[in-house]
Structure 1
Amino acid sequence: MTMKLKAKIAGPKVHDVGYRVFLLKNAMNLALPGLSTYNWEENGQQEVIVLVGGDEARITAFLQVIKKNKPELAEVSNVTFEDYDGDVGRISEVAMFCTFVQMDKAIPLLLDIRDDIKAVRKTTDETLGEIKAVRKTTDETLGEIKAVRKNTNMIPQISDDIKAVRKNADTIPQVLEEIKGMREDIQPGYALQFGQVQADVRAMKERLGT
């Protein structure tokens, strides 16, 4: 037996939560031939109006589904039903309408995503430039490290040179002592020679009668 029914879903949040898509999905699951849905508002409260047409068994099953279930973000106060004898659209028309609505909502989001991708691409290019600069600096730093390492490798040789100098420095007191000894050895002989020279000079003066 074919019948028609009107359902009214009311609550503080039943618009813009995917309610019509939810109703369409469940109507298609039950193969209901007739379905119309639209948003409404009455006394400051949001409503979704549902018109269904089909055999009694399918409509009864559909009503049970929408009484017990709702979209995740929806806030429903009550669901009421009443007889209806007006026109009910074909479910395919609702499917097309829902598709258009979803596309209308998606286009601004897609445009935002496009702009975000452009911004990310620009940031990525800048980041790549910074990475290249860091890589160049890193290469220069590695070159400096290699130069420092090369100089560091000379430290053992420098250390050996310092040890040799220190060893020679340790002999300085001994050399000084030797010089002092030589001076002491030279001084007595030098004094004798100087005395002899003085005596020879006096003898020559006496011979010359001066």
Structure 2
Amino acid sequence: MKRFQGRPRVVKVRVLVEGSKVQEIGYRIFLLEKALENGVGNIYSRNVDRDKVELLVDDEEERLERFYHVVLNERPEGSSVDTIKREPYSGNMLIPPIDRYFQFLTLEQMSRGREEIVKLPGFIGAYLEKVAVALGGIDYKFGEVIERFGLFGEQAKGMNLKLEKVDSTLGGMDEKLSGMNDKLEKVDSKLGGMDKKLGGIDSNIEKLSTLPDKIDLLPGRIAEAIFSKEKKS
């Protein structure tokens, strides 16, 4: 029967490195490199006072012991260490994954300028150099974009002046069209009066058109009148 194997024990520890020369020499970079080499999952370090480096580690106990052995026995070049103390960590701080801490430390070193970047050892220095070059290229491209926007602004200004002239011309045309509209309204009014007069003329013409018929009937009516008069006499 197989014996059930539980999960590896995970522990959190605080390591305090103290000495006359443990800051401004890349000690935290050194700790990060060794943590990466030993597969540490969660790590954070910071400078404390002027002579200490605090290291927080959160990982499986076996892996942490292997990493701590390296911290005890290896030193970055140029350092001077007096004591290294270790104790369980029970604080409230969430110890970040090593890749997040790597990003944090990268940005911190970059903020110190190129001189600090070239001092970084191994792959970290090379990585930061590439990032610095990339950022420099981005800055150059932004400069080009700003310059082009400046030229575009000048062109837009010229276009704006031309549009103002067009708007002024259209305004004059609008005034002329308004005057023409007034004149057309007057013409329309006169045509309306003429239409009424033509209507009267047309009515008179209709009356005149019936006159020949009336003339044709006139002899018959005269004859009827004479005959009627003779009959009475």
Given the two structures, how large is their TM-score scaled by the length of structure 2?
0.44
- The TM-score normalised by the length of structure 1 is 0.48
- Greater relative contact order (Cα < 8 A, sep 6+): 1
Larger Rg: 1
